[in-house]
Amino acid sequence: MDFEKVILVVTLCFFLASSYRASATRILSDPEDLALERQLKSINKLPVKSIQTEFGHIVDCIDINKQPSFDHPLLKDHKIQ
């Protein structure tokens, strides 16, 4: 009897988890998709150099004038001295 209850609970949890994932996905409209592309374009900068540490981490070096912090409207024309 206990084994049947365990199987029932596991099956119920599986169906609840799979239905939650299906409802979490959605299709973006064209304006949302364009806004997302614009944000990704401003965030993703091409690295000048990539360095791999001894622990396996990869660090991308980006030109100082192309840092994402300088994409702020108040810092658009700011120059590093």
Greater pLDDT, 49 or 18: 49
Compute the average pLDDT of residues 18-41: 72
When pLDDT is cut at 50, 70 and 90, the band that residue 1 belongs to is: low
Q: Which residues pair with 49 in a beta bridge?
A: 61
CB contact at 8 A, 65 and 77: no
